[in-house]
Amino acid sequence: MIPFNKPYLTGKEMHYMYQAVYSGKISGNGLFTRKCQDFFEQRYGFKKALLTTSCTDALEMCAILADIKPGDEVIVPSYTFVSTALAFVRQGAKVVFVDSRKDHPGIDEDIIEEYVTHKTKAIVPVHYAGVACDMDKIMNIAAKYNLLVIEDAAQAIESYYKDRPLGSIGHMAAFSFHETKNINAGEGGLLAINDERFIKRSEIIWEKGTNRAEFFRGEVNKYGWCDTGSSFLPSEIIAAYLWAQLENLGDIQQKRTKIWQQYYIGLKDWAKAHEVRLPTTPDYAVQNGHMFYLVCNSVKQREQIIQALKEKDILAVFHYLSLHKSKYYNDIHGGRELPNSDNYSDKLVRLPLFYELSQQDVENIMDVIKNI
């Protein structure tokens, strides 16, 4: 069987986890946490990087740092994972859903400004499949109306916008290291801070509302409760696992992008003949081999592809359901149509893509699709 995803092990995960356990320091913010955080700050230029237990936690920290309050509005694409919206809803905000682009599942940057009101506090672009939103357009809108930009870069490690790493452009960003991501820690995430206003408070929120991080650095002689927060930092065991992955980032990325290119080249003619759209990468973006998907011409065609692959023990899956139509938020949304988001919900299918997928595996998957 070819699964949709298989977490990659570099071979050093257990070695570093062993080191962490026998170091006598396995709670958060130890050696491996600092190694990972330093890696992100140095490689991508984040002013501050903090490991979290998930991307959801990183987004929740963003919502707290943005001082989101009841009555505030936050602009979010509908075609995304629930965490993108939930982090702000938990703070009392009204989420204003915006449609996707026709050529890509990411937010339609050209219509964002239509939804800005005096209550708008932040814009949360999602870099779907590791492909950048047009960040110049988004940052210009934010500057015009004095809004914060929080990048949901869950899928976007090692992706770029005009040579700038994703996650380094907005005021804050959140990354995921879930087992389905290019770099994984089973579960894990990262908060990236690019605006110095938020650095000091981010550490306090990260450490249960205390200035414990300052205490461990010897900057204060005792620590106490200073602010709101939670236990957002992961254990050293998770950080140790992640460090093994980061050491092999180049190799992992090279293999994943090679698989992505094999799919694209191999399916290009078939897709054109069958009115199927392949992933679009704008000129300003560099994609990271996170995901390869097809946008079918009908629900029926998608079902045929998924079923044909399943019969050959190959697992292909669809993706998000539009959040504006969710049971939880449908009434609040108010019935406004978002046709592009719904189109991706109905017609997008993701093909297997993971490090250990062989060239022959990819050929077999494509042969099944072409012979439907």
Measured between alpha carbons, how far is 169 from 146 in angstroms, rounded to an integer?
A: 15
Count the neighbouring beta carbons within 10 Å of the beta carbon of residue 208: 16
* 173 and 80 inside one domain: yes
Residue 193, classified by CB atoms within 10 Å of its CB into exposed (0-12), middle (13-18) or buried (19+), is buried
Do the domain assignments include residue 310? Answer: yes
Confidence (pLDDT) at 356: 97
* 56 and 175 inside one domain: yes
* 263 and 227 inside one domain: no
Measured between alpha carbons, how far is 368 from 372 in angstroms, rounded to an integer?
A: 7
* 239 and 262 inside one domain: no
* 255 and 240 inside one domain: no
- Structure token digits, residue 78: 């509908």
Do the domain assignments include residue 6? Answer: no
* Residue 285, helix vs strand vs coil: strand
* 191 and 233 inside one domain: yes
pLDDT mean for each 10 residues of the chain (372 residues): 97 97 93 98 98 98 98 98 98 98 98 98 98 98 98 98 98 98 97 97 94 84 91 97 98 98 98 97 96 98 98 97 95 94 98 98 98 94
Do the domain assignments include residue 94? Answer: yes
Q: What CATH number did the domain enclosing 350 receive?
A: 3.90.1150.10
Last residue of a domain, one of 247, 266, 281: 247
Do the domain assignments include residue 3? Answer: no
Measured between alpha carbons, how far is 328 from 118 in angstroms, rounded to an integer?
A: 25
Task: Collect all residues with Cβ–Cβ distance below 8 Å to 56 and sequence separation of at least 6.
Answer: 83, 86, 87, 189
* 207 and 292 inside one domain: no
Contact 71, 83 (CB under 8 A): no
Phi, psi for 330 (deg, rounded to 5): -55, -45
* 289 and 355 inside one domain: yes
DSSP state of 70: T
Do the domain assignments include residue 8? Answer: no
Q: Which domain holds residue 281?
A: 249-370
The DSSP-derived string for 82-110 is HHHHHHHHTTTPEEEEEPBPSSSSSB-GG
Q: What CATH number did the domain enclosing 91 receive?
A: 3.40.640.10
Select from 340, 301, 298 the least CA-distant residue to 320: 340
Domain count, the chain: 2
DSSP state of 120: E
Last residue of a domain, one of 247, 268, 295: 247
* 188 and 219 inside one domain: yes
Do the domain assignments include residue 135? Answer: yes
Do the domain assignments include residue 60? Answer: yes
* 253 and 309 inside one domain: yes
Do the domain assignments include residue 1? Answer: no
Cα separations in angstroms, 103 against 106, 115, 279, 282: 9, 21, 9, 9
Last residue of a domain, one of 194, 214, 247: 247
* 106 and 198 inside one domain: yes
Phi, psi for 36 (deg, rounded to 5): -65, -45
* 165 and 264 inside one domain: no
Confidence (pLDDT) at 198: 98
**What is the residue whose two structure tokens read 């770099």?**
183
